[in-house]
Chains A and B, each alone.
Chain A
Amino acid sequence: MSFVRLSLENFRRFPKAQFSFAETGLTLILGPNGAGKSTILETIYLLCMGRTPRDVRFSSLVHRGSTTAYFRVEAERPSGPGRSVAYLNGSAVVYHEGDQTVRRSDLIGKPPVILFSADEMRIVAGEPALRRRMTDRILSQERPEYLARLKRYTRAVEERNALLRDDMPPDPGSWMALDETLAADGSEILSARRGFLRDVSADLPDTLKSLGSPHLAERIRIEPAETIRGEYLNALIDARPQDRGAGHTTVGPHRDDIRFWDQTLPAAETVSQGETRILSLALKLIESRRLAAVSQPILLCDDLFSELDGVRRDAVTAFLAAYPGQVLLTSCLALPDPLLAAVRLTLTLE
Chain B
Amino acid sequence: MKLLTHLAEQFNKLPGVGPKTALRLAHHVLFSMTPEDVNVFAAALTDGKRRLQTCRTCFSIADGDDCAICKNPNRDTGVILVVADIRDLLAVEETGMFKGRYHVLGGLLSPMQRIGPDKLRIGELRERLKAGQVREVILGTVPTAEGEVTAHYLMDKLRDCGVKITRISAGIPVGGSLEYMDAMTVTRAILNRQDMRAGQEQG
**A residues apposed to B, CB below 8 Å:** 105-106, 143-145, 148-149, 152-153, 155-156, 158-160, 162-163, 166, 171, 173-174, 176-178, 180-181, 184
Contacts and interface: CB of A to CB of B under 8 A. Distances in A.
A106 B110 CA distance: 26
Most B CB atoms within 10 A — which of A106, A174, A184?
Answer: A174
A178 B149 contact: yes
A162 B157 CA distance: 22
A144 B144 contact: no
Contacts of A163: 111
B117 interface: yes
A166 B111 contact: yes
Contact of B144 (A155, A178, A184): A155
A69 B184 CA distance: 36
Interface residues of B, number: 22
Contact of B109 (A105, A143, A177): A177
A106 B180 CA distance: 10
Given A152-B143, A174-B116, A177-B152, 9 more contacts: A143-B183, A145-B182, A155-B144, A155-B146, A156-B149, A163-B111, A171-B116, A177-B150, A181-B149
B152 A180 contact: yes
- Chain A: interface secondary structure? helix
17 contacts: A105-B182, A145-B182, A145-B187, A152-B145, A155-B144, A155-B145, A155-B146, A159-B110, A159-B111, A159-B145, A163-B111, A173-B117, A173-B153, A174-B117, A174-B149, A176-B152, A177-B153
B115 to A, nearest CB: 10
A181 B156 CA distance: 13
A240 B178 CA distance: 41
Contacts of A178: 111, 149, 152
Contacts of B157: 173
B3 interface: no
A145 B152 contact: no
B199 to A, nearest CB: 25
A342 to B, nearest CB: 35
B190 to A, nearest CB: 11
Given A174-B117, A174-B149, A177-B149, A162 B184 contact: no
Contacts of A153: 145
A153 B112 CA distance: 15
B156 to A, nearest CB: 6
A149 B173 CA distance: 20
Contacts of A145: 182-184, 186-187
A101 to B, nearest CB: 15
